[in-house]
């Protein structure tokens, strides 16, 4: 060691300090107490400290430290929101996002987060509430849970601060906004999911009319489909057949037999997708998984003595319609599953995604999954071969699916207006393409310029 270098002094941490550091490490990594309760972890700490009788962190102490950290978080968030509320001249500035889920223990949990742009123009997203509520989905009660929960934990009046409330598209969730006295905004992810559901024929707009029946001399109620784009019963029928096929393998006996066939034929061991029809873009995922497993299913039903009605009900025409529907809705499903679930998604990019989705649905060709054996044991839905199918080559059912999906997208996502285009020049990633984004369908060039200029003028007027 040279004279120029100075020695660093190290101090041995006390047992109390080490346990506090262990607790902080688990909290920061989102780990449960069981991570430090294992014998292997005990051996590491004992070896590191040289103390074979080192007293490990107790659950009670970890809970106290965890509660302390959470209380500090609540205090800081409450102070931040109160400060931003004052800087916004006590004008409503928050976006409240809420949802309800069911835990593994069958408890209904109400969750709420807030998103906003602070006084320094930074986008903020904060998860704030997760509260058990097993008394149903009544909108008034859900609003009370959110309002009282945020008041208790953060000492804020969420109704006074919130301008927009965002949720899924169920009526009970949308009604929460009325009880909080805020404006309702539908979640883009769920709107895209509705576009898929209506496009492939799982959902329909129906109208009940009363007509006079001469043969019975009475009035009869007749239900007619009024979904834009026309009726498409065969699409929903194909999806139901694929669900029945996948649900056939719910039993461990059938599941194990299928796995043995996949292993023997060196096919990828991908489990069938049993019913999860409430999940976003589930139908697209079940089509993809069924196509990849097609050869394994075929081998299974050729080798089994069980009833194969679920397999026999799917004709070659059904399989072709399924892959065509998946090809048509593939881009919309990708938006719903990936882009719209990003916590960094902002309005300027949603405008772009809407334009991309519309252009994709108006394109000349689509890539459909090939109904053939997978090429390797490690194949999956992403690597499965696709082939090009032009619009002219699509079946009549697929063309109906395409038309319905496009009309749903145009109806549920408004065209680019001056309010929407305003956010595009503010984002460095989109401002260079603002004029292209303003181009809407086949409208005249002058109208495109009007939309763009209107957005810029609206932005200038607001500042």
| 302-309 CB contacts, 8 Å cutoff, 24+ apart | 303/261, 304/257, 306/254
CB atoms within 10 A of CB 196: 27
Determine what percent of the chain falls in helix, strand and coil, rounding each to the nearest 5.
Answer: 50, 15, 35
Q: Which residue from 194, 406, 201 is spatially nearest to 322, judged by alpha carbons? A: 201
* Tally of helices (H runs) and strands (E runs) in the chain: 20, 9
Question: Strand, coil or helix: what is 272?
Answer: coil
Provide the pLDDT confidence category of residue 420 given band limits of 50, 70 and 90. low
Predicted pLDDT of residue 412: 83
pLDDT of the residue at 277: 56
For residues 340 and 344, give the distance between their C-alpha atoms in angstroms, rounded to a whole number.
9
Confidence class of residue 245 from pLDDT cuts 50, 70 and 90?
A: very high
Q: What is the pLDDT of residue 52?
A: 85
pLDDT at 383: 93
At 178-187, the pLDDT tens digits run 888 888 777 7
Higher-confidence position of 196 and 191: 196
Q: What is the pLDDT of residue 146?
A: 93
Q: Do 353 and 335 touch, CB atoms closer than 8 A?
A: yes
Rounded to an integer, what distance in angstroms lies between the CA atom of residue 434 and that of residue 441? 15
Would you tell me how many other CB atoms lie within 10 Å of the CB of residue 369? 23
**How far apart, in whole angstroms, are the C-alpha atoms of residue 179 and residue 17?**
48
pLDDT per residue as tens digits for the range 198-239: 999 988 888 888 888 888 888 888 888 889 999 999 999 999
State the number of CA atoms in the 13 A half-sphere of 318 facing the CB.
Answer: 19
Q: Render pLDDT for 163-183 as a digit per residue (tens, 0 to 9).
A: 988 887 677 777 888 888 888
Q: What per-residue confidence (pLDDT) applies to 435?
A: 66
Of the two residues 134 and 58, the one the predictor is more confident about is 58
Q: How far apart (Å, rounded) are the C-alpha atoms in residues 421 and 426?
A: 10
pLDDT at site 440: 54
Please give the structure tokens belonging to residue 22: 């262990």
Pairing status of strand 162-167 against strand 123-132: unpaired
The tokens of 450 are what?
A: 């009007």
- Give 5-46 pLDDT, tens digit per residue: 555 555 567 888 888 889 888 888 888 888 888 888 888 888
Residue 442: burial class (beta carbons within 10 Å; 0-12, 13-18, 19+): exposed
> What does the pLDDT look like over 65-98, one tens digit per residue?
989 989 999 999 999 999 999 999 999 999 999 8
pLDDT at 439: 63
Which of 386, 378, 103 minimizes the C-alpha distance to 266?
A: 378
Task: State the DSSP string of 281-314.
Answer: THHHHHHHHHHHTHHHHHHHHHH--S--HHHHT-
Q: Is the pLDDT of residue 385 over 90?
A: yes
- Tell me what pLDDT residue 348 has: 56
For residue 98, which of 114, 111, 80 has the smallest C-alpha distance?
111
Asked if 199 contacts 329 with a C-beta cutoff of 8 angstroms, the reply is yes
Q: Which residue has the tokens 């194969």?
A: 308
pLDDT band for position 196 (cuts 50, 70, 90): very high
Structure tokens at 401: 């699916």
What pLDDT does 419 receive?
A: 63
Q: Residue 355's pLDDT is what?
A: 77
pLDDT given for residue 299 in this prediction: 93
Q: What is the pLDDT of residues 285-296, one digit of tens each?
A: 999 999 999 999
Domains annotated for the chain, with CATH where assigned, are 15-57 (no CATH), 73-186 (3.30.420), 233-413 (no CATH)
Q: Predicted confidence band at 408 (pLDDT cuts at 50, 70, 90)? A: very high
* DSSP element (H, E) containing 296: helix 294-303
Give pLDDT, residue 175.
83
Tokens of 337: 């599953």
**First-to-final CA distance of the chain:** 63
Residues 6+ apart with CB under 8 A from 256: none
The pLDDT of residue 427 is 67
| Predicted pLDDT at 72 | 92
pLDDT at 414: 64
Give residue-wise pLDDT tens across range 429-463.
666 766 666 665 555 556 656 766 776 676 666 55
Q: pLDDT tens-digit profile of 90-147? A: 999 999 998 887 776 778 889 999 999 899 988 899 999 998 887 777 888 889 999 9
């Amino acid at each position: 060691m040279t004279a120029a270098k100075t020695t660093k002094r190290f101090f041995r941490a006390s047992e109390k300090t080490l346990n506090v550091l262990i607790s902080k490490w688990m909290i920061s990594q989102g780990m449960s107490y069981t991570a430090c309760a294992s014998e292997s972890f005990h051996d590491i700490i004992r070896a590191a400290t040289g103390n074979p009788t080192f007293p490990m962190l107790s659950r009670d102490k970890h809970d106290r430290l965890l509660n302390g950290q959470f209380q500090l978080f609540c205090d800081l968030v409450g102070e931040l929101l109160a400060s931003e509320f004052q800087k916004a001249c006590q004008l409503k500035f928050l976006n409240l996002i809420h949802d309800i889920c069911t835990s593994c223990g069958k408890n209904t949990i109400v969750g709420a987060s807030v998103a906003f742009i602070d006084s320094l123009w930074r986008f903020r997203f904060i998860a704030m509430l997760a509260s058990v509520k097993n008394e149903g989905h009544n909108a008034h009660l859900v609003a009370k849970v959110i309002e009282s929960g945020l008041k208790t934990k953060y000492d804020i009046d969420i109704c006074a601060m919130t301008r927009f409330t965002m949720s899924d598209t169920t009526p009970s969730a949308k009604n929460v906004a009325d009880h909080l006295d805020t404006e309702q905004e539908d979640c883009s992810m769920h709107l895209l999911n509705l576009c898929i559901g209506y496009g492939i024929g799982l959902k329909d707009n129906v109208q009940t009319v009363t007509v006079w029946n001469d043969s019975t001399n009475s009035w009869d109620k007749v239900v007619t489909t009024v979904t834009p784009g026309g009726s498409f019963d065969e699409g929903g029928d194909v999806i139901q057949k694929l669900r029945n096929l996948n649900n056939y393998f719910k039993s461990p006996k059938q599941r194990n037999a299928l796995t043995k066939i996949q292993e023997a034929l060196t096919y990828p061991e991908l489990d069938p997708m049993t019913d999860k029809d409430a999940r976003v873009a589930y139908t697209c995922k079940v089509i993809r998984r069924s196509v990849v497993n097609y050869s394994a299913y075929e081998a299974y039903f050729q080798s089994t003595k069980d009833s194969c009605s679920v397999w026999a009900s799917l004709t070659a025409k059904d399989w072709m319609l399924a892959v065509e529907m998946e090809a048509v809705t593939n881009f919309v499903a990708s938006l719903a599953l990936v882009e719209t679930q990003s916590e960094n998604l902002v309005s300027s990019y949603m405008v772009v995604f809407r334009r991309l989705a519309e252009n994709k649905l108006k394109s000349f060709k689509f890539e459909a999954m090939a109904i053939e054996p997978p090429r390797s044991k490690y194949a999956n839905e992403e690597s499965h071969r696709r082939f090009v199918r032009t619009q002219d080559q699509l079946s009549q059912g697929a063309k109906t699916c395409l038309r319905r999906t496009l009309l749903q997208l145009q109806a549920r996502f408004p065209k680019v207006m001056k309010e929407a285009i305003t956010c595009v020049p503010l984002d460095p990633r989109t401002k260079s393409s603002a004029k292209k984004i303003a181009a809407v369908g086949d409208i005249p060039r002058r109208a495109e310029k009007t939309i763009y200029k209107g957005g810029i003028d609206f932005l200038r007027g607001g500042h």
